[in-house]
Structure 1
Amino acid sequence: MSVNLFNAVEFSHLLLKKTLKPGDKALDATAGNGYDTKFLAELVGAEGKVFSFDIQKEAVNNTQKLLQTADLEKNVKIIKASHAELDSYLEDKINAAIFNLGYLPGGDKKIITRAKSTVKALKKTIKLIENDGIVVLVIYSGHPGGDDERDAVLKFVADLDYKKYNVLNYKFLNQPGPPPQVVAVKKRI
């Protein structure tokens, strides 16, 4: 029997696929080019809802175009705002969330996610997550500011009450540069 070791994106999608079902609600805290938003929309189906955040107009436009091409825009609300402000837009509980930390691929590498706003958003997301729901963070730290954000996120999740949350850190140890790592926070029942 062969065992697959998934890259960061594949592993994050596996966790989301195992958690979400049609009709669920999900959050993409960092829309980027829209690939995770599209993936979430496919998982929750027409009866579900996806909330997708990004501060960059380019990311919002890229996500809208991708969703329109795939005919998935009906069950997605794209919000041009910081993920740190997600509680201004979401009131309902969600079943899963994903964060891709770093910068917009193909965009301005000076515009990055930052430790302060990410931890603020993470705290708010943890409060919104349903029992047995999951928050997945794909952390890219190979850019200025990336180490600070990674360290702040890891400290926050390491301090979560183990009776309420299971926390996983998935990373390759022998990759060049700082390889991306996946942190998953599963809310226990």
Structure 2
Amino acid sequence: MKRYTITEYTQDVFRKWLKEDGLYIDATVGNGHDTEFLCKGVESGKVIGFDVQQLAIDHTAKRLEKAGIRARCQLVLDGHEHLMKYVEPESVDGIMFNFGYLPGGDHQCATRKETSIKAIEEGLRALKPGGILSMCIYSGQDTGFEEKDGILEYLKEVDQKKFVIIKSEFYNRPNNPPVPVFVIKQ
């Protein structure tokens, strides 16, 4: 039996919010799995994918070209904390984040607490009412716990009248499993 991953879980939940004509952001394209997932869900919509590593942008572009959906995505070599330079407030239907480092890439080049929290703040501004923001928060080993703890502390203070925040966990997995979090804008 195949192991159910955080990416599969997050995509399963997120799928409910996909609209053919929507605007979505993959805030950390990495190897392009979520970018491809989003692009397959929008036929007349648009996906914007961010990453600070050219390797991630190039790999994702090839993945999308191979799938025949490259035209649906604007890939941006920039930090996710700058996403509001590319969209209007309350214009985005959904945003996906994976915090940590690029699998197969340089583990020293990982997301950091300060820029990740700034990116989440920007994402909350960008979301339409009824929109969703998902996070896969990895910790342990190379990425450490500072980012995870900082993000979770920040999320506790987000206005409950404007946002619903749901934190899940892989309860029976050892070695600091990733934490899936969903934010829905009221």
Aligned to 2:136: 138
Alignment partners' CA distance in 2, 1:137 and 1:124: 14
Q: 2:96 aligns with which of 95, 98, 111?
A: 98
1:72 aligns with 69
Q: Hey, what's the Cα distance between the residues in 2 that align with 1:116 and 1:57?
A: 22
Structure 2: gaps spanning 5 or more residues:
none
Instruction: Give the whole-Å Cα distance in 1 for the aligned partners of 2:154 and 2:13.
Output: 20
Are 1:123 and 2:121 an aligned pair? yes
User: 1:145: Cα distance to partner?
Assistant: 4.0
Which residue pairs with 2:146 in the alignment?
A: 148
1:131-188 Cα shifts (integer Å, max 9, x gaps)? 1110000011123443111111111111111111111111122312110110100111
Q: Determine whether 1:51 maps to 2:48.
A: yes
Match of 1:143, SS state, is coil
Please say which of residues 26-35 and 153-162 is displaced more in the overlay: 153-162
Give the alignment partner of residue 166 of structure 2, picking from 159, 165, 168.
168
Query: Amino acid of the residue matched to residue 173 of structure 1?
Result: Y
Matches of 1:146 and 1:82, distance apart in 2 = 20
Q: Give the TM-score of the pair, scaled to structure 1.
A: 0.93
Post-superposition offset of 1:78: 0.1
- TM normalised by structure 2 equals 0.94
**Paired residues for 1:10-49 under 5 Å:** 10-45=8-43, 47-49=44-46
Is 1:60 aligned to 2:48, yes or no?
no
Q: State the 1:113 CA deviation.
A: 0.4
Q: Distance in 2 between matches of 1:70 and 1:118?
A: 29
Q: Check whether the contact 2:128–2:185 (CA below 8 A) recurs between aligned residues.
A: yes
Give the 4+ runs in structure 1 shifted more than 3 A. Answer: none
Match of 1:109 among 107, 110, 135: 107
> Could you tell me whether the CA contact under 8 Å between 1:141 and 1:147 is conserved in 2?
yes
RMSD: 1.4
CA deviation map 1:98-119 (0-9, x unaligned): 0001100111111100000000
Give the aligned length.
183
Q: Which piece of structure 1 moves more, 57-66 or 174-183?
A: 174-183
